[in-house]
A and B are shown apart, each in its own frame.
Chain A
Amino acid sequence: NAGVTQTPKFQVLKTGQSMTLQCAQDMNHEYMSWYRQDPGMGLRLIHYSVGAGITDQGEVPNGYNVSRSTTEDFPLRLLSAAPSQTSVYFCASSLTLPFSGANVLTFGAGSRLTVL
Chain B
Amino acid sequence: DQQVKQNSPSLSVQEGRISILNCDYTNSMFDYFLWYKKYPAEGPTFLISISSIKDKNEDGRFTVFLNKSAKHLSLHIVPSQPGDSAVYFCAANAGNMLTFGGGTRLMVKP
Interface range, B side? 20 to 34
- Which of A4, A105, A110 has the most chain B CB atoms inside 10 A of its CB? A105
Q: Is the beta-carbon distance between B9 and A100 smaller than 8 angstroms? A: no
B residues 7-37 in Cβ contact with A at 8 Å = 9, 31-32, 34
Interface segment among A14-22, A39-47, A67-75, A77-85: the answer is A39-47
How many residues on the A side are at the interface (Cβ–Cβ under 8 A)?
29
Contacts of A45 in B (CB 8 A): 97-99
Q: For the complex, what is the distance from the CA of A104 to the CA of B50, rounded to whole Å?
A: 12
Select from chain B the residue with minimum beta-carbon distance to A107: B43
Q: Which one of B9, B32, B42, B44 contacts A43 once the chains associate, using CB atoms below 8 Å?
A: B44
Q: Is B49 an interface residue (CB 8 A)?
A: yes
Contacts of B44 in A (CB 8 A): 43, 90, 107
How far does the Cβ of B60 sit from chain A's closest Cβ, in whole Å?
14
Contacts of B91 in A (CB 8 A): 43, 99
